[in-house]
Amino acid sequence: MRQAVRFMLGAATVYVVVAACGSGKRSSSLGGAMGAGGVGGDHAAASYDGGPSDGNVLDALADAASGIADALTDPVSEAAADPPTVDVVACDRTFAYAGGTTQYRMAFVSYPGRRVQDLAQLRAVGRYAQAYLAHDYNPPEVTHQVVEPSLFDGGAAIFCGADSDPNFDQVTFVLPAPVL
């Protein structure tokens, strides 16, 4: 019984320390009580005569207790990620190669001001056209395919196939939000 109690107290102590250190609320957690530079910071600084140099030690303890209470009640800080940019584009642009008579389709998406380096994380998923799904070589449960987009400054494109029998009828482009 005694070992079980010791184990539970040890586990609770580890939880408190991990929650306090990982809460992301530096200004109101133990980091705030110890100052931005670690031990000996704002509230915990002491003068050479043994007394506090800028305030009451009780203020530092109150800050630490408040930080621990915040970490225990909300150990994971709020996520601040922006949602990705999602564009669903029809394969409705047509073109022909120089001197060719066959028309082809493509899906084109514009990202004004974005360079190729900014678009490197762009992903695209093509939805198979109904005529393409009717072919014998295509399993009926496969309706979409991840495709590699062609990138250029300001946008991206996907080749969808011949106008008379396209592989895709639409493409979904997903661009993750930039990490700041």
Plot region of 114 (φ>0 → left; ψ -120 to 50 → alpha; else → beta): beta
Query: What residue ranges in 16-96 does DSSP mark as E strands?
Result: 85-90, 93-95
pLDDT confidence of residue 18 = 67
Rounded Cα gap, residues 179 and 107, in angstroms = 27
pLDDT confidence of residue 10 = 78
Q: Are the CB atoms for 176 and 121 separated by under 8 Å?
A: yes
pLDDT truncated to tens, each residue of the chain (180 aa)? 788 778 777 777 777 666 666 555 444 434 443 344 444 444 444 444 444 455 566 776 677 677 777 766 776 666 667 889 999 999 999 988 888 888 999 999 999 999 999 999 999 999 998 888 877 776 777 889 999 999 999 999 999 999 888 999 999 999 998 766
pLDDT confidence of residue 154 = 95
Rounded Cα gap, residues 33 and 6, in angstroms = 28
CB atoms closer than 10 angstroms to residue 176? 13
pTM above 0.85, yes or no: no
pLDDT confidence of residue 61 = 67
Q: Are the CB atoms for 153 and 62 separated by under 8 Å?
A: no
pLDDT confidence of residue 158 = 96
